[in-house]
Amino acid sequence: MLHPIERLPEDWAETLARWGEPRYRAAQVFKWIHARGVLDPDAMTDLPKRLRARLAEEGLQPTMEVALHQRAEDGTQKLLLQMGDGRAVESVLIPQGSSGAEDPVGGDEPEDGRPVTQCISTQVGCAMGCVFCASGMAGLKRQMSAAEIVSQLFVGRGLVDEGDRLRNVVFMGMGEPLHNYDAVSRALRLMFHPDGLGFGTRRVTVSTSGLIPEIARLGEDFGGKVQLAISLHVPDDERRSALMPINRRYPLSDLMKALRRYPLPKRRRITIEYTLVAGYNDELADADRLADLLKGMSAKVNLIPMNPVPDNPLGPPPWSVVEAFHDRLWDRGVSTFVRRRKGDDIAAACGQLVLAGEKKKIRVKVPVVS
């Protein structure tokens, strides 16, 4: 049975029909939970007593609580969220500040407050086993439900600073979102619903290590509107397979074909994530190979100097190497940006959460138009 938090208005309509309640109440219940973040039926003042009592029986419990809350000097907040079975995942809130995270859409009116990006998790651990990633090293502990995935946003919405607004969501926390497709796609539908959290599709980015069938499914199910980020990292099969075992199953040539088939709306670009690992994928010849792979594609590259992971010998290259790699990609006509970690004064390194980090444009050139 669907958890109450993961029911869409149409699911509530079915539930309410069973309870002998009128259909229009479905939108009301959904709004209380998703738009207003209210889980206590007694506070749902426009519902009749009888229905409130029935909802109370249904058990509208929060799915998670904040077990740890850290705040960096730059305003970044890192959360450890503990779920019903005691398992925990991480989520990060990144305000777009003076040095802040990118706002993928832009154009905010000043009175809107600072836009905040939340990085959310989809699994406890991850089965993909990428060798540079802390989540991968631990293996998959369990999937998260759609209710748990969106609950991270309820928590985040409540913690943004006064005047700020939760605007963007990136699926770049723990886990491989497309390895938990059903829950993730339901969470997306919940997030996009105008009676609920009401996120715009352009403001939500799903990051994947490259699960080809699910990339196609996501494209079909959401008409290409969900922003896609691909963890490419290495521009040839042999070395990519060594770093990212998923490449053995879905090699680069097939992945690139799948990306070209993604029904991207006009003027949108796929994000290519490229974690720079010292001495592994950071040579200018790699930048050239990457540029070749992306030829004619509507894409932009985010370079991420690898965030060191405890007990892992891999690490980031020196800054000069990052810069040279960045410049070479621009010279080859590829829009490229370097992302750096935000919240540096927060302890505890987490492999992939670095990605939610600050994004810094080093130099702007006219992007390539496909």
- The footprint of ligand SF4 (CB under 6 A) covers 126, 128-130, 133, 135-136, 175-176, 209, 231, 352
Contact string (CB under 6 A) for ligand SAH, positions 92-131, x = contact: ----------------------------------x---x-
Q: Which does 143 bind (CB under 5 to 8 A by kind): ligand SAH, ligand SF4, none?
A: none
Q: Which does 275 bind (CB under 5 to 8 A by kind): ligand SF4, ligand SAH, none?
A: ligand SAH
Return d(Cα 340, Cα 362) in angstroms, integer.
11
Residue-wise DSSP of 52-64: HHHHHHH----SE
Q: Which does 159 bind (CB under 5 to 8 A by kind): ligand SF4, ligand SAH, none?
A: none
Nearer to ligand SF4, 5 or 89 (CB): 89
Q: Taking CB under 6 A as the criterion, which residues in 145-204 touch ligand SAH? A: 172, 176
Nearer to ligand SAH, 2 or 216 (CB): 216
Q: Which does 309 bind (CB under 5 to 8 A by kind): ligand SF4, ligand SAH, none?
A: ligand SAH
The piece of 7-15, 58-66, 285-293, 351-359 that touches ligand SAH (CB under 6 A) is 351-359
Question: Strands, E, within the chain: which ranges?
Answer: 64-71, 77-83, 88-95, 115-119, 123-125, 140-143, 165-171, 204-208, 227-231, 270-276, 299-305, 336-340, 358-360
Q: Which two tokens stand for residue 291?
A: 């540029």
Q: Which two tokens stand for residue 366?
A: 């006219």
Q: Which two tokens stand for residue 138?
A: 């631990």
Q: Which two tokens stand for residue 336?
A: 């490229």
Q: Which of 96, 145, 208, 336 binds ligand SAH (CB under 6 A)?
A: 208
133 belongs to the catalytic site = no
Range 184-212 burial, b when 16+ CB lie within 10 A, else e: bbbbbbbbbbeebbebebebbbbbbbbbb
Q: Which of 33, 287, 304, 346 binds ligand SAH (CB under 6 A)?
A: 304
Q: Which does 293 bind (CB under 5 to 8 A by kind): ligand SAH, ligand SF4, none?
A: none
The residue of the chain with the least Cβ separation from ligand SF4 equals: 136
271 near ligand SAH, rule: CB under 6 A: no
**Residue 135 three-state SS:** helix
Q: How far is the CB of 206 from ligand SAH (least distance, A)?
A: 8
Range 266-285 burial, b when 16+ CB lie within 10 A, else e: eeebbbbbbbbbeebbbeee
Return d(Cα 34, Cα 197) in angstroms, integer.
6
Phi, psi of 289, deg, nearest 5: -60, -40
90 belongs to the catalytic site = yes
- Residue from 6, 90, 214, 358 carrying the catalytic annotation: 90
Using CB under 6 A as the criterion, which residues of the chain lie in contact with ligand SAH when the complex forms? Answer: 126, 130, 132-133, 172, 176, 207-209, 231, 273, 275, 304, 306-307, 309, 351-352, 354-355
Active-site residue set:
90, 350
